[in-house]
Structure 1
Amino acid sequence: MANPYLPQEILIDVFSRLPTKSIGKFRCLSKSWRTLLTTTEFIEFHLTRKTHKENLILVNPSHSLHVITLPIENDSVPRNLELLNTWTEVVGSCNGLVLLLNDEVKVFVVNPITLQQVNIPDSPVALKKNESFSMYGFGYDCSNDDYKIVTLSYYDTDNEYEPDCIDTFVDVFSLKRGVWKRVSCSPYDHAVPDISSGAFVNGAIHWLASSRESGYRSVIAGFDLANEVFYEIPPPNDVDLARFVFYKLVVLGGCLCLVNNTKSEFWMMKEYGLVESWTNFKIDVDCEWDIVKPLCFIGDEEVMLINEGDSLVVYSIKDRTMKDMVFGGIPSMFIDGGTFVESLVSPDFNG
């Protein structure tokens, strides 16, 4: 039982240093502790400690979810996540919440640690799914203390004129308010070869797109979640401005990462917004499969990736070697994945 003479701020300070799973156990030991440990104030303070473990969340070929805690040890084994559905894509994560899509393109926000989940309703103004293309993004708007889902959707005109995409509609869902709204159409052409999820960094969700100006140069378009407007991020100086729209844009090591899959080449923006901060590395070994998606760094010299063979592989930047990621003596097979931090944040603002 909680000590009635121990100041609440002391209790909060002590509990905030504990792992997320331990907090769940302590919530069951005392009514007063449960009340304290479920307050919004405690959950937010616990999140700010920045000591929470990072995890991989992975979708296997059977479309179930698995989680593995980083850093990976020799005896690490992915654990099955008891969130039953036919999962197809990990869109992104923020503060311990993960946005997932299922095979019916239904959107879910889940906390993989507490197993809370919320099924996000379709936008009432959304384009028909069988007649359009859509890309999703997920992030946190710190100015309004709100988590937002952004959908870019468009009809592909499929004609000989440029730009190919006449209008890209931008819909934003507020988890805090529980409503969708449509904002102004995107100023960019989003009819890109790879219908990819947005990359959330520095309060904005980013996609590759083409300018509508003469020449249709490739751009990195950021969507500011606070102001709900688009702006451009400068690309690396050594990329082809007419071609990098064919690349992939992801988050790697907390940074924007531009990936040329066909050449297995990577650029990372180490300091957000500064063109001089783009750094480059390349996979210098022969690969049977193209790289689909980088997931995370293992230490400072290795990066884990998913390849076209649905395998997890690890590339050593220092040694220039590639190896299969093996769990329990068996090479791992996953079709998509991402990272998230452990947290107590609930996806249900209205629960």
Structure 2
Amino acid sequence: MAATRAEEAPVITSHHQLNDDVVTEILLRLPSTSVLRFRAVSRAWRAITTRPDFLAAHARRRPLELIVAEGLGGALHAVPLDDGLDVDARTIRCLLPSTPRAAHLIASCDGLLLLEVRGHAINNVERLLVCNPVTRQWTSVPLPRSGHTLTRACGFYPHSPSGEHRLLFLTNDDERGGMGTSASHYVRSLEAGETRVLGPAAATVHMFTLTPRALQYRGNLHWVEHPEAEEAQEIVVFDTVQETFRRMPRPPVGSFYDATDLFLLETAQGMLAVAAMRWGSVDIWVMEDYNNGQSWTRRHRIDLPPPLRHVGWVVMTWQNALLSGYSPSDVAVLYDMTEKKVVLKQMQLRCTDHLTGHVFRESLQRHAFFDVQQEQP
């Protein structure tokens, strides 16, 4: 009788007996590294996990993570960007075991990381690198102009009409390598492998050593700290579809704030915001109407508890603002935007580690520009 029941029991002994929809749903829930391993199970599973619709759906399900850097040329790690922000040996995972010497992370886009490699002179960018840390694929990106020209990669964005990933450069027109007052914008398509000039920048531009950090919001790139924004004290906006520039007013924070004290955010409600940082406190200004530059409202004032008295950057979790000091720093502040409560978080970081402020979401999507060069350069 027992043998008869065993023979009658529906036992799945092969992946062929699983419905493709069931397999797809299971694979969508797995981490990226597991999906890569399961591609070797069969041709059918490989076909499922390489379909464009599967790759897009899998990327959407990946959690947001905050990148931790282990010094120049060191490893890159990631921690879950959730409301608890538990940063210790249990939650930190390795993204890349190493990066090229003198390279540091400057942007993240669609599961891709953009790294800048500088030469002996602090102003001199030798090359740019793009990598997918999941697939360990790398490619070099040539600069728009050769020689001693000062160049900054200001933005990394998806161009929705073409499906391409593009880089926006601001390049000094002075061939001698000086700071100069004249500059031009260039765009580089990674897929097409072509660079073109967009046109001259504002009449007077004072190039600086820092690489401007952009916020992508509503299909546009926004900068509060940018060579073209310094004189007018405005937010620079770049339409990534039309590839044109415009300006919008900053919140009325007062003249005592420098651009380095302001940080752009997107709130959990999908609104553009600016964190105005000063010693001992941070104000959060929200733009109530994106089409009205005068609609800035101060929603929050965050009093910073010691030992964190000055903030280097701010990012948003689901309902909290995460504030961290300049590196190296092993403390952060979580501010509950609903309850308006402050929690001081102690993070277990090594002395060489620091939170970068860059947010990352894994992606297994294939990119043709990686076909030429697969390994770390």
SS of the residue corresponding to residue 99 of structure 1 reads strand
Q: CA deviation at 1:102?
A: 2.7
- Which residue is 1:314 aligned to? 332
The alignment status of 1:325 with 2:338, answered yes or no, reads no
Deviates more, 1:226-235 or 1:195-204: 195-204
1:145-180 deviation digits (Å, cap 9, x = unpaired): 1111111122589xxxxxx96333111111221221
| Residues in 1 aligned to 2:77 and 2:310: alpha-carbon distance in whole angstroms | 24
- Which residue is 1:132 aligned to? 150
Pairing 1:199-278 to 2, within 5 Å after superposition? 199-208=215-224, 209=226, 216-236=231-251, 238-240=252-254, 244-251=258-265, 256-263=272-279, 264-267=281-284, 269=286, 273-274=290-291, 275=293, 276=295
- Which residue is 1:61 aligned to? 71
Equivalent pairs, count: 332
**Cα root mean square deviation, aligned:** 3.7
- Which residue is 1:96 aligned to? 111
1:210/1:245 contact within 8 Å kept:
no
Q: CA deviation at 1:183?
A: 0.8
1:139/1:225 contact within 8 Å kept:
yes
| Residues in 2 aligned to 1:141 and 1:21: alpha-carbon distance in whole angstroms | 27
- Which residue is 1:291 aligned to? 311
* Equivalent position amino acid for 1:167 in 2: S
State the TM-score, normalized to the length of structure 2: 0.73
Q: CA deviation at 1:252?
A: 5.6
- Which residue is 1:160 aligned to? none
- Structure 1 segments unaligned to the other structure (5+ residues): 158-163
| Residues in 2 aligned to 1:103 and 1:350: alpha-carbon distance in whole angstroms | 22
| Residues in 1 aligned to 2:310 and 2:117: alpha-carbon distance in whole angstroms | 25
Q: 1:56 to 1:288 in 2, by over 3 A?
A: closer
Which runs of at least 4 in structure 1 moved beyond 6 Å after TM superposition? Answer: none
| Higher alpha-carbon Rg | 2
1:57/1:67 contact within 8 Å kept:
yes
- Which residue is 1:339 aligned to? 359
| Residues in 2 aligned to 1:175 and 1:31: alpha-carbon distance in whole angstroms | 30
- Which residue is 1:142 aligned to? 160
| Residues in 1 aligned to 2:254 and 2:35: alpha-carbon distance in whole angstroms | 50
SS of the residue corresponding to residue 84 of structure 1 reads coil
Q: CA deviation at 1:190?
A: 4.6
State the TM-score, normalized to the length of structure 1: 0.77
2:138/2:370 contact within 8 Å kept:
no
| Residues in 2 aligned to 1:61 and 1:191: alpha-carbon distance in whole angstroms | 29
- Which residue is 2:7 aligned to? none
* Percent pairwise identity: 19
| Residues in 2 aligned to 1:18 and 1:231: alpha-carbon distance in whole angstroms | 42
SS of the residue corresponding to residue 41 of structure 2 reads coil
Q: CA deviation at 1:344?
A: 1.1
SS of the residue corresponding to residue 58 of structure 2 reads helix
- Structure 2 segments unaligned to the other structure (5+ residues): 1-13, 120-124, 372-377
